[in-house]
Amino acid sequence: MGPARVLAYQTQLYPLLCQHCVPGAEFRSVVTQQCEACTPQTERGCLQEKSYMQCTATRDSYCQVSEQAASNSFCNNGFLDFGEQCDASAKQSKTAACCANLTCQLITDFYSDPACSTICGDGIRAGAEECDSIDNLQCETTTCKFKR
């Protein structure tokens, strides 16, 4: 059984399994707010093997530098440059996991202080929050975790 079939099988049996995406296998889409399968390196078509960035729990895999991006920006050069909120390729950066790799801006609903934090109780489920709604009686509004 391939990784995609295993993931689909697990998601059907355990619908809450996807509350926390598995880095390298799936990522949380900022559009759908659901876990989606990572795009494999073979489908990315990056020019060099070293230019491929692995999928994390919060972003899909991608080609690290394109010729156009390299000529227009310093984004993803491993350093926090003027105008950037973060740099996804900066290895020592605490905000790399919640950084949009093409814009070097924090992904919507994430904050830099503390790094990659979210606000519990703002009505937006982001990051490690399992829930974030004062209307949901199963949601613990101080921790944004489902009541056990």
3-state secondary structure the chain: CCHHHHHHHHHHHCHHHHHCCCCCCEEECCCCCCEEECCCHHHHCCCCHHHEECCCCCCCCEECCCHHHHHHCCCCCCCCCCCCCCCCCCCCCCCHHHEECCCCEECCCCECCCCCECCCCCCCCCCCCCCCCCCCCCEECCCCEECC
Cβ contacts of 93-99, under 8 Å, gap ≥ 24: 97/56, 97/57, 97/58, 97/59, 98/58, 98/127, 99/59
Weakest mean pLDDT among 68-77, 118-127, 139-148:
68-77
Q: What is the pLDDT of residues 89-127, one digit of tens each?
A: 877 788 888 888 778 888 878 888 888 888 888 878 777
Query: What is the predicted pLDDT for the residue at 133?
Result: 76
Q: Measured between alpha carbons, how far is 37 from 41 in angstroms, rounded to an integer?
A: 12
Q: What is the pLDDT of residues 32-72, one digit of tens each?
A: 778 889 888 777 777 665 677 788 888 888 776 544 444 34
Q: What is the pLDDT of residues 82-99, one digit of tens each?
A: 888 888 887 778 888 888
Instruction: Locate 56 and state its tokens.
Output: 């994390």
- Measured over the CA atoms of residue 22, residue 132, residue 32 and residue 95, the dihedral's sign is negative
Q: What is the pLDDT of residues 11-38, one digit of tens each?
A: 444 444 446 788 888 888 777 778 889 8
Query: What is the predicted pLDDT for the residue at 11?
Result: 44
Query: What is the predicted pLDDT for the residue at 72?
Result: 45
Percentage of the chain beyond pLDDT 90 is 0
Stretch 120-145: mean pLDDT, rounded?
81
Which pLDDT band holds residue 77 (cuts at 50, 70, 90)?
A: confident
Based on C-alpha coordinates, what's the Rg of the chain?
A: 17
Residue 74 has pLDDT above 70, yes or no: yes
Instruction: Locate 48 and state its tokens.
Output: 């060099």
Q: Which of 125, 131, 135, 134 is nearest to 144 (CA)?
A: 131
